[in-house]
Amino acid sequence: MNKTSSKQLLGVAIFLIAIFIGVPLAISLTGRWDFYFTLTSVALLAIASAGVWLTFYIGRINIGQGAFALIGAYVSAILVVKGGISFWISLPAAGIFAAIVAVIIGLPILRLRGVYFAMITLVLTQVVTLTALALPITNGAKGISSIPLPSGVSLFGIPIIPEFAAMENTKLAFYYTACILMVVTYAALYRLVNSRLGHLCRSMQQNEELASSIGVNIAHIRIVIFAISSFFGGIGGAMFGSIAQSVYPSSFQVADSVNFMLNCFLGGLGYVFGPMLGTLVLYFGWDLLFELGKYQLLIYSIILIAVIRFLPNGLLSLRIGKGGQS
């Protein structure tokens, strides 16, 4: 659509410097190493939330991203542990597998609109959890544990990605990996939304009848979008499994699916970078309210309701934080 302005570029540059240099610097100065895990989680959850945001973009409320994250986590874990395959191959494989499952599930359910689609997706997470409990390959309730850390990758003898297990600071390595994945995801999402596919999605979101009257194959685009969305979910989940070095049927639950959706609401459905901000605020917001003890959930919920009530277009509609994200 619009040409990228120099202001936007500056914003993106500041953002990249902040996450790749600023954060590690601040952490080493303050000694709060535990923040690495928190921020890595935020980055990965933001990837999965980006997928949910994309299904919002075609006018569908998706409360099932936890299902695809769990599928991704299991696929990666099984490939690494039982197949002995490198994690770096299992990562895209997890995304692709999640996308294939999305196509199969999406074919019948994507015809549904509004609350009906939302209800079906809400059930999906539970279905995948139960499937993981029942299947022999997923090890039932015991899950898959002691997943080895990502191995190194070298091309023509030149090491590209070092062996994680041999590293002094795996937290930092995971943090960087998650941030790179997140940046790539959001760059792709931004590009997609501003390309023709994004325009067609917008036309479908605003009026499916009119969209089909101008020749848009809405059924096809819905499937493509749902597959991409689930691909993001699978990638996020696989990475999570690798960091935790374990996957259980309860690794992603219905509550996680709901959170993925809330991240999008909170950040703003109209903004590509909304889910990223939403994930950060939601994740930290919860932790910050920890001091409140038993009132934590109450206050947290009230704040959420207030935000959705008074900022229906999400936090980014405030535009206080200049992250160059527009």
Partner 1 sequence: MSTLLQVKNVTKKYGGLIANNDISFDVSQNEILSVIGPNGAGKSTLFKMISSFVPTTSGEVLYRGERISNLKPHIVARKGIVRTFQETTIFKSMTVRESVVVAQHLRATASLAGYFWGSSAAKKDVVAFGNYADELLEFLGMSAISNELASNLPQGNLRALGIAIGLATDPKVLLLDEPFAGMNHDETMQMVDLVRLVRDERGVTVLLVEHDMPAVMNISDRIVVLNFGEKIAEGTPSQIQNNEKVIEAYLGSADDEIGM
Q: In the complex, which residues of this chain contact partner 1 (CB under 8 A)? A: 191-192, 195-197, 199-200, 202-203, 206-207, 209-210, 212-219, 224
* Contact (Cβ atoms closer than 8 angstroms) between residue 324 and residue 14: yes
- Secondary structure class of 162 (helix, strand, coil): coil
> In this structure, how many other beta carbons lie within 10 angstroms of the beta carbon of residue 279?
28
Q: Which is nearer to partner 1, 216 or 304 (CB)?
A: 216
Q: CB of 53: closest distance to partner 1 in angstroms? A: 17
The residue among 235, 187, 174 whose CA lies nearest residue 45 is 235
Q: Which is nearer to partner 1, 113 or 191 (CB)?
A: 191
Q: CB of 323: closest distance to partner 1 in angstroms? A: 23
Q: CB of 9: closest distance to partner 1 in angstroms? A: 17
Q: Which is nearer to partner 1, 142 or 191 (CB)?
A: 191
Angle at 218 between CA 124 and CA 237, to 5 degrees: 30
Residue 238's identity, in one-letter code, is: A
- Could you list the beta-strand ranges (E) of the chain: 153-155, 158-161
Q: CB of 115: closest distance to partner 1 in angstroms? A: 21
Q: Which is nearer to partner 1, 65 or 203 (CB)?
A: 203
The residue among 303, 315, 279 whose CA lies nearest residue 69 is 279
Q: Which is nearer to partner 1, 169 or 195 (CB)?
A: 195
Retrieve residue 103's tokens.
């196509």
Retrieve residue 242's tokens.
């690798």
Q: CB of 204: closest distance to partner 1 in angstroms? A: 10
Q: CB of 218: closest distance to partner 1 in angstroms? A: 7
Q: Which is nearer to partner 1, 166 or 210 (CB)?
A: 210
Retrieve residue 241's tokens.
């499994």
Retrieve residue 11's tokens.
């914003």
Cβ-based neighbours of 51, under 8 Å, separated by 6 or more: 62, 65, 68, 228, 229, 230, 231, 232, 233, 236, 260
State the Cα–Cα distance between residues 168 and 176, nearest whole angstrom: 14
Q: CB of 217: closest distance to partner 1 in angstroms? A: 5
The residue among 172, 124, 156, 221 whose CA lies nearest residue 164 is 172
- Provide the β-strand partners of residue 153: 161
Look at the block and give the residue holding tokens 């990758």. Answer: 153
Q: Which is nearer to partner 1, 169 or 207 (CB)?
A: 207
